[in-house]
Chain A
Amino acid sequence: MTTTPLAGEARPPTTEPGRAALLLSGVTRSFGDVHAVRGIDLRIEPGEVVAFLGPNGAGKTTTLDMVLGLGRPTSGTVEVLGLEPREAVSRGLVSAVMQSGGLLKDLTVRETVQYVASLFPHSRPVDAVMEDAGITAIAGRVVAKCSGGEQQRLRVALALLPDPALLLLDEPTTGMDVEARRSFWSTVRRDAERGRTVVFATHYLEEADQYADRIVLVAQGRIVADGTSAEVRALASGRTVRATLPAPSLAELSALRDLPGVDSVEVRGEHVLVQADDSDAVARHLLTHTPARDLEITARGLEDAFLTLTQERPA
């Protein structure tokens, strides 16, 4: 994909100061006995790039569907730029790139863009959007013959046609290789720098970490953490202390467990791994009260934070 800005000279429409790009208040959604979304309150400001991070089945897609007006909340309200979602969609203020499907196989790339462009009264020019999305070279190709990455670029083009104020991306890089994924995100970031609000759902932790200003972590239909990547990581606070300690005695292990702030102690062969809030205390204890050596202290990655926060609430 090219790295040219997605929107060229165009700028996404702006709202009056103080109005949220997206506002969810007490939103729930149930399908019979299945409670997909159990109460989400969220305010996203214009220009933010937000990752909606969570395991499969966390309620990410259900929530995005409600933002697009494809599903109604069982209770609570959803506002996009102060408007009801369907109203925002019909004015081209919010658009989305879906996970898969959503294309007619028998149209060419250009015809697909023309089709959708004709539905918006203020659509950006077809050629400019195709250029921005890097699909000019494949304009005459039938969609059925496009690769997964090419089809995804076409979906991006369709989403950018109305020049939306809020762009939703639902697991947008599924099936892309590393290079395609990197260039996809650099394109989205450049686009966001000119003021477009971007919300993307993902279960790739590194994507959320690298490309979002803010991470909203969802699990089992609720927000379990909300903040910058560093803040979310700090929520599942603590570090891992790893040391070589051959054949530790039971007394040594229980002494480690009894140290203040220790979450867990694990023995792996000749090594002992201690998860703790106060890693200094653990390190001091290991070096002074045991024959431990080769000490390593590492901060927990976002992956650990993710696992801790999403697994804390049993279903």
Chain B
Amino acid sequence: MSLTTPPRTGPAITDRRVPPLGGFNTTVLGLELRRMLRNRRTLFFALVFPAALFLSFGSQSDWDHSVGNGNVAAYVMVSMALYGAALIAAAGGATVATERALGWSRQLRLTPLHPAAYVVTKALVALALGAVAITTVNLVGVAQGKPSMALGTWVACGALTLLCVLVFAALGVFVGYLVPGENAMQVLGPGLAILAFLGNVFIPMDEGSVVYKIAEWTPMFGVAEISRAPLTGDLAWGAVPNAVGWLVIFVVGAAWRMSRDTARV
């Protein structure tokens, strides 16, 4: 072969670049959101169900009793928004395991997509969906007219709820690995309902009771306290350690299952 004649026309391999941000981009983000919004079952349980719960619990006779800086209806609304957001974020997290089972993550490994960019995309999708769930319950609250609190309190509660949603996105990834395939939601659905009861999200428990003493250690207790703190004006000392502790446990658990799974991918 003569070195003076180029072998073939076509770009040289040195022209090839690696994408910026590890392949993170808005097309993928948009498509991932669209996938979640297409899943009617998830949407029903994360949007319609919490709103319906709010309408029934938040309309009981004591709805206008005062709670901290607002009323009982506002307290129930914030709780239900948290429940819906947690459910949809967990469902989003569980898709990571489903995608691995389908071999999609193997397909993605044939692209420049960096695993960190993938995790960030999934976290943003969980946050966006959480925001949709929170907004839905809050809009239903506004339309119904019973919840009452200052606008600043309202916004602060919503923002804190959104932050807390990350705990459940991590839980979703973890459970997705423990319960392979598309059955993860059948564990997450009832599981989150139980955690919501124990987390004081559905019905307030008697402080000092045995159940309450146990419930204080469960994963939804801390985040519920944090989400409602701007409204109640009060934050139990164990709430933040509880939320951070469970976040760490779920992230470590998810990472542990993920790394064990890598050999198969």
Contacts and interface: CB of A to CB of B under 8 A. Distances in A.
11 contacts: A14-B12, A89-B112, A90-B112, A103-B103, A103-B104, A104-B35, A104-B102, A106-B39, A111-B34, A118-B28, A119-B19
Contact of B28 (A46, A47, A119, A162): A119
B107 A116 contact: yes
Nearest to B25: A118
Contacts of A101: 102-104, 106
B1 interface: yes
Interface residues of B, number: 38
A240 interface: no
Nearest to B36: A106
B17 interface: yes
A150 B233 CA distance: 59
Residue of B3, B18, B20 ringed by the most chain A CB atoms within 10 A:
B18
B7 A17 contact: yes
B35 A106 contact: yes
Nearest 8 Cβ contacts at the A-B interface? A101-B103, A11-B10, A118-B27, A91-B16, A90-B112, A102-B103, A102-B107, A119-B111
B110 A89 contact: yes
B41 interface: no
B107 A13 contact: no
Nearest to B2: A17
A46 B20 CA distance: 29
A54 interface: no
A107 B240 CA distance: 39
Interface in B76-135: 99, 102-104, 106-113
B151 interface: no
Interface stretch (A92-100, A206-214, A227-235): A92-100
Interface in A53-109: 68-70, 81, 83, 89-93, 95-96, 98, 100-107
Contacts, number: 121
Interface of B: 1, 3, 6-13, 15-20, 23, 25, 27-28, 31, 34-35, 38-39, 99, 102-104, 106-113, 265
A120 B25 contact: no
A15 B107 CA distance: 25
A39 B28 CA distance: 40
Contacts of A114: 27, 31
Given A103-B104, A106-B35, A111-B31, A13 B19 contact: no
Contacts of B38: 106
Given A18-B1, A118-B28, A13 B99 contact: no
Given A102-B102, A107-B35, A119-B19, A14 B110 contact: no
Contacts of A83: 13
Contacts of A93: 13, 16
A96 B18 CA distance: 18
A163 B118 CA distance: 23
Contact of B13 (A15, A70, A106, A119): A15
A13 B27 contact: no
A12 interface: yes
A13 B16 contact: yes
Contacts of B13: 13-15, 81, 83, 91, 93, 165
